[in-house]
Structure 1
């Protein structure tokens, strides 16, 4: 499953839990009310749009105290930004 498909599933799950409409979710995630409709129709998005949507979705999930285990965006962020050990940080500075 690619990042776009994961985002679509996460958005749909977020919508189920919050009962917000497509337009409102689009405005929250990317300041674009047509985002969800276009995503469902298979529309294309710039990578920056997908990144912004994921980032804002994570923020909203945390703010609304939803179960993070139900969303792929948390797994995506952890996989993309693994924590560096102190040894790796020291090596990078040298």
Structure 2
């Protein structure tokens, strides 16, 4: 990704390399820990801050393909007003 900034920590660089190697299969947090990441969530956050888009589904994280359509925005469920019974 050309607009991405360089990663500054070894964990961030390792997380990006693991995600690139995993391809479409993605990785679980357990996979990342097995590969030596002490704090996988923090490393993934750094990857996102550097400008790489991530996709999370069914407990797995992968790099979002450049040609993928943008994700649908989150819609808040309608608010329900509770009315006390008389």
Q: TM-score range by the shorter chain?
A: 0.3 to 0.5
| Structure in which a larger fraction of residues adopt helix | 1
Determine which structure has more spread, i.e. the larger CA radius of gyration: 2
Work out which structure has the larger RCO, using CA pairs closer than 8 Å and 6 or more positions apart in sequence: 2
TM-score by length of 2: 0.32
- Normalised TM-score (structure 1): 0.31
Larger relative strand fraction: 2
